[in-house]
Chains A and B, each alone.
Chain A
Amino acid sequence: MAQLVTQPRSGARYGVGRHWSRYRAGYLFLAPSVILYAMFMIYPFFQSIYLSFTDWNGVGEIGDFVGLQNYREMIRDDLLWQSLGHNAIWVVLGTIGPLILGLALAMLLWRQPKGFTLFRTVYFLPQVLSPVIIAIVWGWVYNPVFGLLNEGLDAIGLETISRGWLGDSSTALYAVLVAAIWAETGFVFVVFLAGLQSVSRDLLEAATLDGANAWQRLKDVTIPQLSNVITVITALLLIGGFSVFDIIFVMTGGGPNHSTEVIATYTYTEAFVQNRAGYSATLSLILTVISLVASVVFIRFRERGAQ
């Protein structure tokens, strides 16, 4: 019994019984996960695809089959394109910002100077907190009446700049983005800190002896050795950036006047505020396609890097 698994496949007959006894353990170990995953991942995903061809309002029987109507509406939907534009800004700045800040902080703490643990703990702290807390804290920072930012600007004589950062369509997206970069930097920082452990100090010293300055050492010696880590972080930030929801939803809810609307907040509103389950499913599939493309590009890059 116990050795059936390792037994070589001898007998000529290969029936159901043999199949079962050979693979039984594997099936049983896998079964609970497969059942749960099929019910709450695979089935809902195909259901979403189906819903995207209906005009269901989320109540009662699933609505009429409307063919490609949702997709046609989507192409003409200015709000969607506006949201995707915000996603694009978010992804670019929200990736570059933490990458640069995280690398800078990791370099500063590379040699584990005195106070290393204190600095690392504080830089990483926002990472363990809920986005709701980050959003409320930063909502206070930006508050037009008593916010830290405006008070600070007033104190150094720049009161002309102060404003309701989140209530102003021209600044709201960037204000939320700064909060997000602030929260994300700690993650990038610790991953870089781990990556720097495998960067060869001998190479750096050799480069110094050869007369390379600090910038050249960073650009030609350190960063090439971190390229794998950079690819991983970039991919995680990119995929996270396309589906960003929490911090925007809590800080601005997509407003004012849709100036911080991204595809995830738009999908949420269509689904649970407008009750347009069909159209919302269509929007969510766009998000999936973008994530898939981003992941595939990432995997390609990684394979190329590995060669």
Chain B
Amino acid sequence: MATPAAAQERPSYGTGGRRSRFRPGWSLMQYGLLTFFLLVFLVPFIWIWSSAFKESREIARDPFGLPATLRWDNLQEAWTTGQFDRYMGNTVIYCAAIVTGVVVLSCMAGYALALLPLPARGPILVVFLLGLMVPFQSVMIPIYYFLQDLNLLGTYWAFIIPGIALRLSFGIFLMRGFFRGLPPELADAARLDGANEWQTFRQVMLPLSVPGIATLVVLQFINTWNAFLMPLVFVQRDELRPVALGTLFFFGRFTADRGLIAAGVTISMLPMIVIFLLLQRRFIEGITAGALKS
């Protein structure tokens, strides 16, 4: 009951940082809980990773122990029979194309909607925003037949083009918000100096929006790398599959061989884990910003 009063009396939003009194009991319980959840999140992965290094007999005999010796046979076999080299290559192509496309188009359109004179700016924005609320399922059937008519179904474009188009709503919204936060006087100054609109955008405003672009790149990269339903529907040929989809078909083909499956899954998640560990802060900041600004 005393708290609302306290809230009114002390509206100061201090940065805090003061540590409260050391309480060993609490600290012990805190670390107990933290470790418990650490195991909850980690044990399934460790189980898979260690199975990847075991022979089938060893898995059958001791399914949960750590491998006696690290055997790379499973990993090697999974890499070649599972065609993971091809799937990884495809995924890199898809990520490069879709992330670039989304970022370039979203920056241009977001900039126009934020800072350039446009008739009917409001309605245009609303039409793009409505796209955020339309689930992929509502457009996938017509897009599928549209791609078929364009003869694109057996090509990389079948995932790249809709992959860009369906993420524009989010990208434009994010970048427009970012450009609106920049002082428009900067653009005016550049124009007075004789820069045309493209130069103003490219050389003055775009460099200032790097933090926004970083958020967009991170989100689109994770989304594209892990995309499942869109390539499942639009990517028909095995040799064009991205790695998430390839992993599923690999899993379906070798269900009985546990060592091989574990190896395939391990290979499949490895690049993302490495990238995540290297760029952790960017990833977490990107995801947080993406959530809180949308």
Which A residues have a C-beta under 8 Å from some C-beta of B? 1-3, 5-6, 19, 22-23, 25-27, 29-30, 32-34, 36-37, 39-45, 47-48, 51, 58, 104-105, 108-109, 111, 113, 115, 117-133, 136-138, 140-141, 146, 148, 151, 182, 186-187, 190-191, 193-195, 198, 200-203, 205-207, 209-212, 216-217, 220-221, 229, 232-233, 236, 239, 242-243, 245-246, 249-250, 264, 267-268, 271-272, 277, 280-281, 284-285, 287-288, 291-292, 295
Contact = CB atoms under 8 A, between A and B. Distances in A.
A131 B247 CA distance: 11
A30 B108 contact: yes
Contacts of A26: 112, 116-118
Interface residues of B, number: 111
Contacts of A128: 222, 226, 272-273, 275-276, 283
Nearest to B277: A121
Greatest chain B CB density within 10 A among A40, A104, A119 is at: A40
Given A32-B108, A243-B137, A41 B276 contact: no
B44 A137 contact: yes
B37 A105 contact: yes
B126 interface: no
Given A40-B165, A287-B135, A51 B142 contact: yes
B196 A2 contact: yes
16 contacts: A29-B201, A37-B168, A58-B145, A105-B34, A121-B277, A132-B245, A132-B268, A137-B265, A186-B41, A195-B292, A201-B15, A202-B13, A267-B137, A281-B142, A285-B138, A288-B133
Interface in B116-175: 116-119, 124, 127-128, 131-143, 145-146, 161-162, 164-166, 168-169, 172
A200 B3 CA distance: 13
A134 B64 CA distance: 19
B34 A29 contact: no
Chain A interface SS verdict (over half): helix
Given A113-B34, A130-B268, A281-B142, 13 more contacts: A5-B197, A33-B128, A36-B168, A41-B168, A44-B146, A129-B226, A130-B243, A130-B247, A136-B248, A151-B63, A194-B292, A246-B229, A284-B137
A45 B143 CA distance: 9
Contacts of B118: 23, 26-27, 30
Contacts of B10: 202-203, 206
Interface string B188-219: 10011011111001000000000000000000
A217 B134 contact: no
Nearest to A220: B3
Contacts of B142: 43-45, 47-48, 51, 281
A113 B35 CA distance: 13
A216 to B, nearest CB: 7
B88 interface: no
A259 B287 CA distance: 33
A264 to B, nearest CB: 6
Nearest to B161: A40
Given A23-B118, A30-B108, A30-B113, A271 B192 contact: no
B131 A37 contact: yes
A148 B285 CA distance: 33
A33 B105 contact: yes
Interface string B276-294: 1100100110011001101
Interface of B is mostly: helix
B226 A131 contact: yes
B24 interface: no
B210 to A, nearest CB: 19
A90 B181 CA distance: 38
A212 B265 contact: no
Nearest to A125: B41
Nearest to B172: A33
A187 B226 contact: no
B138 to A, nearest CB: 4
Contact of A187 (B40, B141, B269, B287): B287
Centre residue among A33, A193, A250, A285 by max chain B CB count within 10 A: A33
A245 B229 CA distance: 8
A236 B291 contact: yes
B44 A133 contact: no
B30 interface: yes
Nearest to A62: B145
B28 to A, nearest CB: 12
Contacts of B119: 19, 23
Contacts of B258: 146
Contact of B6 (A198, A203, A236): A203
Contact of B117 (A5, A37, A113, A233): A5
B147 to A, nearest CB: 9
A127 B12 CA distance: 35
